[in-house]
């Protein structure tokens, strides 16, 4: 195992616990701001992570791990690099090691979930299902400890007897892990059941590595001072908080917790700054509202569908506009200053590029589809034909455009059908070396020479709508285990303006 100059220490620490759908980047950064020493990300399944690509996001200044369907599975940044622990769900030593190697240079430590009793974790033998298979526990942890340079930890629940629990923890210690977190409940018990502090204390006394006590949010930890009281009661080295921190992460604040309203505002700022998924943002905010989620304010939040709408509910539209404008300016600057433009690739019989359509990059009423249509007319070619498909799991779109019997497609999925078609048009235009109408691009005379008044565009739009109603719907196609709906659409003469 390679040595690390500055290894994360788990003694005398207050820690944000791993929580599904809660432990994303905004919550982790907020907990660190308020005084948490270490933060765990939400449990991420090894099979999904093994398919990800590591991408440096220069716009957000983050490192993103992107799934094949373009979803961000894990996002981190420099601010937390030395204090974030990556928790994975796994039941396979080799797969666990592959994921650990993928992310080890961007995190401070790697943790294996061996305590979550929910089906999300236990299916496939992960989570608390591992507690009944100590040989597999030993194989996974030993493989990780010997295979990566960062500290390895695990999080367990207590077993039916104190003796069995202590024996398991001693076996885990022999693998070389840096620490072990113990949730003081059995896998059959729920938060309403009292935490077994005596079990955690017995574990802490039986091993020499740091033991992290977990499970005191409901009964034991109400204030910052209670964190230390819970640590002393359990005899543990450190304390890990889940629900108490989810309800108000400023519980880590030594000067005392802030109002939930103040905390939610600060959370939203991180969510906007780091382009957090709006549904994840809303979920975390609803957890902070707790019993007020059914209030008129809570219902307004529940109705919000975008980050912009969430900011409206909280009276923060100016912050949203200012921050998104700054991010857009950074993105534009990076595009202008890029020395290595994307090159087209041939995949099967389709020419592809990783391109996303950004409406702000084009003047009003000008789109790449319009340029491609006008060029096709000038060259006396058939008008471009767009084939668009939609994924069922997130309703994202991808389009292929056929021009002169050649196919062009962006490998990135878009939120709308119109944007997907525009992205395909951009791939075609850039491959052919043609202008696409971007702001600042030299006037090609392809589109701007044709001045369309509002009535003319409206008439052409009506014509396109009629054509769209005659689209051909094909049977569902099976692709990589997903059902994908395919439609073929013949576009009219007037380009689509995407909002």
- Tokens 């998104």 -> residue: 324
Residue 493 CA: distances (Å) to CA of 109, 372, 380: 56, 11, 14
Active site residue 457: no
Buried b vs exposed e over 426-439: b needs ≥16 C-beta within 10 Å?
bbbbbbeeebbbee
The reply to whether 313 and 426 lie within a common domain is no
Residue 1 lies in a domain: no
The reply to whether 107 and 249 lie within a common domain is yes
pTM (predicted TM-score): 0.71
The reply to whether 29 and 139 lie within a common domain is yes
The reply to whether 124 and 254 lie within a common domain is yes
Residue 8 lies in a domain: no
**What residues contact residue 386 under an 8 Å CB cut-off, 6+ apart?**
399, 400, 401, 402, 421, 424, 488, 489, 490, 491
Of 312, 340, 368, which residue constitutes the final position of a domain? 340
Label residue 347 by pLDDT band (50, 70, 90).
confident
> What CATH number has the domain bearing residue 407?
3.30.160.20
The reply to whether 46 and 148 lie within a common domain is yes
Q: Of the residues 41, 52, 77, 116, which is catalytic?
A: 116
Residue 165 lies in a domain: yes
What's the confidence (pLDDT) of residue 471? 37
What's the confidence (pLDDT) of residue 30? 98
Query: Taking a C-beta distance cutoff of 8 angstroms, is the pair 138, 171 a contact?
Result: yes
Residue 9 lies in a domain: no
Of 309, 340, 371, which residue constitutes the final position of a domain? 340
What's the confidence (pLDDT) of residue 444? 59
Residue 345 lies in a domain: no
The reply to whether 253 and 135 lie within a common domain is yes
Higher-pLDDT residue of 201, 478: 201
The reply to whether 293 and 364 lie within a common domain is no
Distance between CA 451 and CA 30 in Å, rounded?
51
The reply to whether 285 and 159 lie within a common domain is no
The reply to whether 357 and 428 lie within a common domain is yes
The reply to whether 209 and 280 lie within a common domain is no
Q: In what order do the strands lie in the sheet with 53-57?
A: 53-57, 62-66, 72-77
Distance between CA 287 and CA 189 in Å, rounded?
22
DSSP state for residue 79 in the 8-state scheme: G
The reply to whether 55 and 132 lie within a common domain is yes
Residue 264 lies in a domain: no
Higher-pLDDT residue of 395, 367: 367
pLDDT digits (tens, 9 = 90+) for 103-150: 999 999 999 999 888 887 888 899 999 999 999 999 999 999 999 999
Give the residues across from 211 on adjacent strands: 180
The reply to whether 445 and 306 lie within a common domain is no
Distance between CA 204 and CA 209 in Å, rounded?
8
**Number of independent structural domains in the chain:** 3
Instruction: Give the largest CA-CA distance in the chain.
Output: 84
Nearest to 27 by CA among 276, 221, 332, 224: 276
How many helices (H) and strands (E) are present in the chain, helices listed first?
Answer: 17, 20
What sign does the dihedral 454-455-460-466 (CA atoms) show?
positive
> What CATH number has the domain bearing residue 215?
3.20.20.70
Query: Taking a C-beta distance cutoff of 8 angstroms, is the pair 147, 102 a contact?
Result: no
Residue 266 lies in a domain: no
- On the question of pLDDT at 172 being above 60, the answer is yes
Higher-pLDDT residue of 466, 384: 384
pLDDT digits (tens, 9 = 90+) for 50-98: 999 999 999 999 999 999 878 899 999 999 999 999 999 999 999 999 9
Residue 263 lies in a domain: no
pLDDT digits (tens, 9 = 90+) for 245-272: 999 999 999 999 999 999 999 999 999 9
Of 340, 371, 388, which residue constitutes the final position of a domain? 340
- Structural domain including 109 reads 14-258
């Amino acid at each position: 195992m390679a040595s690390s100059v500055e290894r994360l220490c788990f003694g005398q620490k207050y820690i944000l616990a791993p929580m599904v759908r809660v432990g994303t980047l905004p919550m982790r950064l907020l907990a660190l701001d308020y005084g948490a020493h270490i933060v765990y990300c939400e449990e991420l399944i090894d099979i999904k992570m093994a398919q990800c690509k590591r991408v440096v996001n220069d716009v957000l200044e983050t490192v993103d791990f992107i799934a094949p369907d373009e979803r961000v599975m894990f996002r981190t940044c420099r601010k937390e690099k030395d204090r974030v622990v990556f928790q994975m769900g796994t039941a396979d030593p080799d797969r666990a090691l592959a994921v650990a190697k993928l992310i080890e240079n961007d995190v401070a430590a790697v943790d294996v979930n061996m305590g979550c009793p929910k089906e999300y974790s236990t299916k496939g033998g992960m989570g608390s299902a591992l507690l009944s298979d100590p040989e597999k526990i030993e194989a996974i942890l030993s493989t990780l400890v010997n295979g990566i340079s960062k500290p390895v930890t695990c999080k367990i629940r207590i077993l039916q007897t104190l003796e069995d629990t202590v024996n398991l923890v001693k076996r885990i210690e022999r693998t070389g892990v840096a620490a072990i977190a113990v949730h003081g409940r059995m896998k059959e018990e729920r938060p309403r059941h009292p935490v077994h502090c005596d079990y955690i204390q017995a574990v802490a006394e039986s091993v020499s590595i740091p033991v992290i006590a977990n499970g005191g949010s409901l009964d034991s930890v109400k204030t910052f001072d209670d964190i230390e009281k819970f640590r002393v009661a359990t005899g543990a080295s450190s304390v890990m908080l889940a629900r108490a921190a989810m309800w108000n992460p400023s519980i880590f604040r030594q000067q005392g917790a802030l109002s939930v309203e103040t905390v939610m505002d600060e959370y939203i700022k991180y969510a906007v700054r780091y382009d957090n998924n709006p549904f994840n943002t809303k979920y975390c905010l609803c957890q902070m509202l707790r019993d007020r989620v059914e209030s008129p304010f809570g219902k307004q939040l529940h109705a919000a569908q975008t980050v912009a709408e969430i900011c409206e509910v909280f009276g923060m539209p100016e912050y949203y506009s200012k921050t998104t404008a700054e991010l857009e300016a950074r993105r534009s600057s990076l595009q202008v200053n890029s020395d290595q433009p994307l090159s087209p690739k041939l995949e099967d019989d389709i020419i592809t590029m990783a391109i996303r359509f950004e409406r702000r990059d084009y003047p009003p009423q000008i789109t790449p589809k319009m340029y491609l249509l006008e060029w096709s007319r000038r060259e006396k070619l058939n008008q471009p034909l767009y084939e668009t498909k939609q994924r069922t799991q997130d309703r994202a779109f991808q389009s292929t455009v056929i021009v002169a019997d050649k196919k062009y497609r962006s490998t990135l999925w878009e939120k709308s059908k119109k944007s997907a078609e525009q992205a395909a048009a951009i791939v075609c235009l850039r491959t052919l070396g043609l202008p696409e109408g971007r702001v600042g691009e030299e006037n090609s005379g392809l589109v701007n020479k044709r001045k369309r008044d509002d009535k003319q565009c409206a008439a052409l739009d009506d014509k396109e709508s009629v054509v769209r109603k005659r689209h051909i719907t094909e049977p569902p196609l099976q692709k990589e285990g997903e059902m994908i709906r395919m439609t073929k659409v013949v576009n009219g003469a007037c380009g689509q303006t995407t909002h």
